[in-house]
Structures are given as C-alpha cells and as structure tokens.
C-alpha cells in the first residue's frame, strides 16, 4: 500500500516560524515533525510514501533523500502552484498504481492504529474512510455525524450547540479507493472538506467514519505546537526522540531530563523535568530550566537565565539573566542580557534582540529582525 503525505501548505498560522521552514519540517523535540509520521507509517509496514510538496519544497529532499535511512522509499512530487489538499492527491494519481491508498495531513501528531483503520475500511467496503477524533468544543470545528453502521450522514460546519449531534471531527487521515479520484478536477485547487467529500455524499458513495480514540493533535498554531512538545515530554503520546535520560541527584528515580550527545551542563545549573536538551547545547552556571522546556541542538544558555515551558530551536543564544517562558524562539536567534520573552511570543529565525527588551502578549516578530537595546517594554 502507498501513502501520500500532504506537506505543501504555507502554514500561515505558524508564522513567523514557517516563513523559513514549512510546518511539517519544524522540529518537534528536535526531530523534523514529519519524521514521526514517516515512522508511524513504517511501523505499519507502509514504506512506499509520496510527499506532496509545494511551499519551500527543496528542504524535504535535502533532509530525507530517498528515505533509505528511515527504512522507507520516498518520492517527492512538487506543485508549482498549490492545488489544495485533494488537488494535491489528484496530482499524484499516476503514482498510486490504481490501489487503495492512505493520505495523511502533514501536521497531525497521532499514534493512530493504522492497521485497525485499514481493517475497518475493508470490512465496510468503503470508497473513502475518514478518521474521526472527538473534541471538547464541537462548535468551532466541522463535525462528521455518522449513522449506526458508521456511514457519514453529512458534514456540519461550525454548528451552534443546539445543532450538535456528535463531537467527532475530521482528523485529517483518509483511506481512499482510487476510483473516487474521478470526481476530482485535475490541475485545480480542490479540497477534501469542501470539494470531494460533499461530492461523494451527493453521489451516494460509501463514505465511512472511523472513530479513533488515539492521541491526536493538529500542531498548526503556536499554542498547539507548544502543547505537542508538552504532551510528548509528559509521555501522553509515546514517541522516541534521540537523547539520553540523565539520573536525578539521588541516582534512583528517573529524572525525565533528556540530554543530547556532547551537551554540557554546568553542575551549578538547575533543571526540572520533563525537559529535553539538544546535542552540543551548553547550559552555564546558575541557569534554571523549569519543566516542559525543549532546548534545540547547539544552543547556549548563559548564566542566570530562567527558561520555562518554551521551545528553543537550534542554535539559539540566550544572554545572561534573561527569562523565556511559554514562547517559541526560531533558529539561530540571539537574545541579549536581561531580556524577557513571555506569554506566547513567537520569534523568527536569526533575530537579534538587544539587552533589556521585554517581549510579551503574543508578539510575533519576523526572521532577521534586530531590536535595539531597551526598545520594547510593557
């Protein structure tokens, strides 16, 4: 069986991080996000994978080549203009070999049991099976009510509470019979949600919903991107990342502090787990790192710094006495001394922030920006 992973989108809600890196290539606990999806497919013996790329397309092949090191075969198909989620699949139709295939949105963190999904699809003799996941507030999503046999009744966009009959939403993973692609116009921007799925219902095709209770998170906003890190560190979704768990001071209990190769941590630094520190990172004396922090490879955390619940991408340098909380810092970013970054701030790659700035309240700053000493205060 072949899989298509959709990775061509611009990831606008995750700007400025996605100004320089497509969303599926952003690191999650220091590994490109899409690698988790590739590994999940491989675990279920799906090794022939097509990546439908568009936005900053070259970066995928430079990172994964033919996929051999992950035990899979990767084929890249580039869209010159974005074709939408379903148009992107139509675009790779000739590579699918006329067989049942699976489609993954490239921004979903899940440990979905693909084997069960495929069994369900076959048992129902479905034309399309849509994986569904329950949500707490169904009024902000598109809902997918089912009949008793699991057949999709309708697609209900952002209903009011009195219209809500289910809490199941489209989880962005589909099993598809190749014949249904005849409903999709070639070379046009076309989506699954607004295009193909309603067309299939109109034509009384067998569209089924697979109710999955697996972990599921769309990492597409800064809040969700931070939450994905937190959930991985807490073990809510079990994913392997490359780092060694160090022993706690009493040499007994596991500390849940994972450290990459060649990282140097001052004995006078204080670190609370769960936390991940990347390869070659340096943590200087009297730095305090509170839980739910991910520090990228080659980062340098100076003396007197406080980090909490944040994600630092590779190569960040944090100046003495700075505080970073609940925020995301892009690659190669340099913070001066006594800088405060708090309350869901997102800073783009290679920024330079001068001493004594205070960045707060959801500020987003684009890559390569330089902020002079003491310019911003709240």
Full DSSP string of 35-78:
HHHHHHHHHTT--EEEEEE-TTTHHHHHHHTTSGGGTSEEEEEE
Tell me whether residue 103 or residue 323 sits nearer to ligand GTP (CB atom).
103
Residue 5 Cβ vs ligand GTP, minimum distance, rounded to whole Å: 8
Give the one residue of 16, 84, 222, 274 binding ligand GTP; rule: CB under 6 A: 84
CB of 103 to ligand GTP, least distance (A): 9
- Count of residues interacting with ligand GTP (CB under 6 A): 22
One symbol per residue from 38 to 57: x for binding ligand GTP (CB under 6 A), - otherwise; what is it? --------------x-x---
Per-residue x/- track, 8-37, ligand GTP (CB under 6 A) = xxxxxx---------xx-------------
From 93-101, 103-111, 330-338, 346-354, span contacting ligand GTP (CB under 6 A) = 103-111
Is the Cβ–Cβ distance between 205 and 169 less than 8 Å?
Answer: no
Measured distance CA(198)–CA(359) in Å, rounded: 45
| Tokens 């606008």 belong to residue | 12
Binding mask 205-224 for ligand GTP (x = CB under 6 A): ---------------x----
Cα pseudo-dihedral 182, 187, 189, 195, rounded to 10: -10
- 244-278: b or e for each residue (b if 16 or more CB lie within 10 Å)? eebeeeeeeeebbbbbbeebebeeebebebbbbbb
Minimum CB distance to ligand GTP smaller for 81 or for 125: 81
**In the complex, what is the shortest distance from the CB of residue 53 to ligand GTP, in angstroms, rounded to a whole number?**
6
DSSP 352: E
| Residues of span 247-306 touching ligand GTP by CB under 6 A | none
Does 106 interact with ligand GTP (rule: CB under 6 A)?
Answer: yes
Give the shortest CB-283-to-ligand GTP separation in angstroms: 33
Question: Is 9 within 8 Å of 82 (Cβ atoms)?
Answer: yes
When the beta carbons of 189 and 303 are compared against ligand GTP, the nearer one is 189
Measure the CA dihedral 276/278/284/285, to 10°.
30
Distance CA 210, CA 152 (A): 10
Binding region for ligand GTP (CB under 6 A): 6-13, 23-24, 52, 54, 79, 82-85, 88, 105-107, 220
């Amino acid at each position: 069986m072949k899989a298509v992973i959709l990775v061509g989108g611009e990831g606008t809600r995750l700007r400025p991080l996605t100004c320089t890196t497509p969303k599926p290539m952003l690191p999650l606990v220091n590994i490109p996000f899409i690698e988790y999806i590739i590994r999940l497919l491989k675990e279920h013996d799906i090794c022939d994978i097509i990546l439908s790329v568009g936005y900053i397309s070259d970066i995928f092949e430079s990172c994964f080549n033919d996929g051999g090191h992950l035990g899979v075969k990767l084929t890249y198909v580039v869209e010159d203009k974005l074709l939408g989620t379903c148009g992107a699949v139509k675009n790779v139709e000739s590579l699918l070999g006329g067989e049942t295939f699976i489609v993954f949105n490239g921004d979903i963190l899940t440990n979905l049991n693909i084997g069960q999904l495929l069994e369900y699809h076959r048992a129902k003799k479905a034309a399309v099976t849509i994986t569904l996941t329950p949500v707490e507030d169904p009024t902000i999503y598109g809902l997918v009510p089912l009949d008793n046999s699991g057949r999709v009744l309708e697609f209900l966009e952002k209903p009011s509470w009195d219209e809500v009959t289910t809490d199941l939403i489209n989880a962005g993973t589909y099993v598809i019979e190749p014949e249904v692609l005849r409903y999709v116009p070639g070379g046009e921007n076309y989506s699954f949600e607004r295009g193909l799925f309603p067309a299939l219902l109109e034509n009384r095709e067998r569209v089924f919903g697979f109710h999955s209770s697996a972990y599921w998170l769309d990492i597409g906003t800064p809040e969700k991107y931070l939450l994905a890190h937190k959930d991985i560190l807490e073990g809510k979704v079990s994913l392997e990342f490359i780092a060694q768990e160090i022993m706690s001071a009493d040499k007994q209990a596991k500390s849940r502090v994972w450290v990459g190769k060649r990282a140097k941590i001052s004995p006078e630094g204080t670190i609370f787990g769960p936390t991940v520190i990347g390869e070659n990172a340096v943590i200087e004396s009297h730095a305090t790192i509170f839980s739910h922090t991910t520090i990228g490879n080659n980062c340098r955390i100076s003396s007197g710094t406080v980090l909490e619940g944040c994600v630092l991408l590779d190569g960040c340098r944090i100046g003495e006495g700075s505080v970073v909380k609940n925020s995301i810092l892009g690659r190669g970013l340099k913070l001066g001394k006594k800088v405060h970054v708090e309350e869901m701030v997102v800073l783009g790659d290679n920024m330079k922030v001068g001493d004594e700035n205070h960045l707060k309240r959801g500020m987003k700053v684009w890559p390569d920006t330089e902020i002079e000493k003491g310019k911003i205060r709240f």
